[in-house]
Amino acid sequence: MEFTFKHNNFNVLNLDESVTFYKKALGLLEERRVSPPDGSFTIVFLGDGRTGHQLELTWLRDRTEPYELGDNEIHLAMCVEDMDAARKMHGEMGCICYENKAMGIYFIEDPDGYWIEIIPKKK
């Protein structure tokens, strides 16, 4: 029996803001969108265009309070070839929330407070 990764889910308060953030910060693009006729929720699947893994953003119409994210020990990780350029862009966006220079990694924070780890691609 084999299992493969499909997607991770983040629930968000402002879907448009989140989709814009992930496009600008990580280059993720919308691959599909699901909404029932009653408009009670919308799910947007974002992809990197290179792997099959997706980020599922779920917006719930009746949700008005921010999500409780705990200590943010659960996070998404992305790798990048040009760490310096990524660090510069994220610095200009003001979304870097934690750096571990000894490990050569940093984290960015999305509009809902989710952390995304940025790591250099191994060569």
**Element holding 90 (H helix, E strand):** helix 83-93
Task: Check whether 72 has a pLDDT greater than 90.
Answer: no
Residue 60 · residue 12 · CB < 8 Å? no
89, exposed or middle or buried, with CB in 10 Å at 0-12, 13-18, 19+? Answer: middle
pLDDT for the residue 123 = 62
**Catalytic residue check, 30:** no
Q: What integer is the mean pLDDT of 42-55?
A: 96
- Which superfamily, per CATH, for 7-64+75-120? 2,3-Dihydroxybiphenyl 1,2-Dioxygenase, domain 1 (3.10.180.10)
Task: Check whether 66 has a pLDDT greater than 70.
Answer: yes
Mean pLDDT value across the chain: 95
Residue 46 · residue 28 · CB < 8 Å? yes
Q: Tell me the per-residue pLDDT of 6-26, one tens digit each, with 9 for 90 and over.
A: 999 999 999 999 999 999 999
